[in-house]
Structure 1
Amino acid sequence: MRIGTLNLASGRGDDGVSVSRADLVAAVADLDVDVLALQEVDVDQPRSHHVHQAAVLGFPEWRFAATLAGTPDPFASWTALPPALDHGDLTGPHYGVALLLRLPVRRWHVLGLTAGPLKLPLVAPDPRTGSRRLWWFPDEPRAAIAAELDGLTVVGTHLSFAAPTAARQLRRVHRWARSLPGPVVVAGDLNLGGSLSALVTGGRRLVAERTWPAPDPKVQFDHVLSLGGVVGSDPLVTRLSLGDHRLVTVQVAASGRPA
């Protein structure tokens, strides 16, 4: 089984503009993955052509977990949402994470993760004047989606931009994973550089290569992490035509079996 993770960044290319529905589908169509964890996924957002980005990618099994509702500009008010799994029946603009599979899923689960107290400084245009200015964006709630497969559970998630909060959230995911059928693999943008995710959980990184920013990576934020009982082979980190992180993929198998 090949597992991948990609921070989709709402489908934005290097020019900062979200690609069309056709280009989004084309960018993902030929990926050699059985399971794909996606982060920063839009549903019905004006900036991404009102596309339900998880629904159009052609995977037979998928779920989307919205963490925010509303339209993201500096004056819009996001509404934080309790975690729930969507299979295409959401209405209105949303934003969150998705888990897509080409394999049958026995059972789905979702976990909500509370936001941290810190704010992220970003320079962005002021809609009133057009000039760029500094904005302070609050942290947002996060979610983890788990898919129980035959002999493996895969968790997809996107953790806080603040490392202390991300570490707390990852410990919460780890505790939750103990209640799921093992072995368990966590895939996503964990916002924890290098080996920190393995140190927090005692797990094993199945890919160890820098992933962000996509044009010239300086740090690895994107991980496929074994929480025990899984080995990996043939790791690849690839730059796509969209997303601000690089795609991470790896072949996985239960320990003692060929990966």
Structure 2
Amino acid sequence: MRIATFNILHGRSLSDGRVDVDRLAAAVKTLDADVLGLQEVDRDQPRSLGADLTAVAAEAMGAVDSQFVAALSGTPGGTWMAATGDEQPGSASYGIALLSRFPVVSWRVVRLPALRASVPLWSEHTNRPFLARDEPRVAIAAVLEGPDGQLTVCNTHLSFIPGWNSVQLRRLMRSLEGTREPLVLMGDLNMQRRAAARATGLTSVAAAPTFPAPRPTRQLDHVLVRGRLRAASPAEAVQLPLSDHRALAVTCERF
């Protein structure tokens, strides 16, 4: 079972600044994942041509089940509000998606605690401090009917604010207590591999730097597991013609 996570930067390419849904579809086909977690996913946003990027990816990979979950409603970087799940069809939204070539038995959405205050952070680009405001964060979990039985897969995109992402991750792990194992947690966790393993108590099965895409020096994207699941081969950080992250893919097997 090939598992992949990819922060798609709403489908935008760093080379030309454009969103091209055909380019996104080709990238997803290249990954050839059986289970795919996407972050920074647009739906009905003008900047991504009003496309449903989850539907584009689902068709490209041949997913039999998929679900998009909005973290915010409105325009990222502009006017927005935290999504509740009750947004009107056709309204612009932004969030995460989980897609599977295996049937999904059940879905669960977990809305993570938001940091309401602005936080001073240091900018590597300007060498000056700035006040950062985080966006709402969400996770989606699914019980899949895999080739060797059922398992749980969860995808999320955590805060970029150090420390708060660990708070969110611990909250997410508490919400997953008692879920069917094996458990796979993947996504852009905005922390390094050792910190992710420490905060979750899970085992990392994918080690490769993923950010920034052209010359990655940090691993912000992860695949972690609990239960009788292991990597069948080394993970790949796949550079694709869109996003500022590389996709992270690993083939796993039961044991």
Q: TM-score, normalised by structure 1?
A: 0.86
Structure 1: 5+ residue runs without aligned partners?
124-133
CA contact (8 A) 1:146 1:153 kept: yes
The code of the aligned residue for 2:68 comes to: F
Q: How does 1:234-249 map to 2 (within 5 A)?
A: 234=233, 235-249=235-249
Partner SS, residue 244 of structure 1: coil
Measured in 2, the distance between the counterparts of 1:219 and 1:18 equals 25
Q: How does 1:75-90 map to 2 (within 5 A)?
A: 76-83=78-85, 90=89
CA contact (8 A) 2:152 2:181 kept: yes
Measured in 1, the distance between the counterparts of 2:178 and 2:189 equals 21
Task: Give the superposition deviation at 1:135.
Answer: 7.3
Measured in 2, the distance between the counterparts of 1:187 and 1:104 equals 19
Equivalent residue for 2:66, pick from 57, 62, 66: 62
Partner SS, residue 100 of structure 1: strand
CA contact (8 A) 1:120 1:138 kept: no
Measured in 2, the distance between the counterparts of 1:49 and 1:121 equals 33
The alpha-carbon distance between structure 1 residues 29 and 90, as it changes in their structure 2 partners (threshold 3 A), is farther
Q: How does 1:145-184 map to 2 (within 5 A)?
A: 145-150=140-145, 151-184=150-183
CA contact (8 A) 2:76 2:94 kept: no
Measured in 2, the distance between the counterparts of 1:81 and 1:45 equals 15
Q: TM-score, normalised by structure 2?
A: 0.87
The number of aligned residues is 241
CA contact (8 A) 1:158 1:189 kept: yes
| Counterpart position of 2:11 | 11
| Counterpart position of 1:127 | none
Measured in 2, the distance between the counterparts of 1:187 and 1:226 equals 9
The answer to whether residue 139 in structure 2 is matched with residue 144 in structure 1 is yes
Would you identify which runs of 4 or more consecutive aligned residues in structure 1 move more than 3 Å?
Answer: 117-123, 134-137
Partner SS, residue 190 of structure 2: coil
Structure 2: 5+ residue runs without aligned partners?
124-128
Task: Give the superposition deviation at 1:119.
Answer: 4.2
The answer to whether residue 95 in structure 2 is matched with residue 96 in structure 1 is yes
Measured in 2, the distance between the counterparts of 1:16 and 1:204 equals 37
The alpha-carbon distance between structure 1 residues 243 and 209, as it changes in their structure 2 partners (threshold 3 A), is same
CA contact (8 A) 1:206 1:233 kept: no
| Counterpart position of 2:213 | 214
| Counterpart position of 1:253 | 253
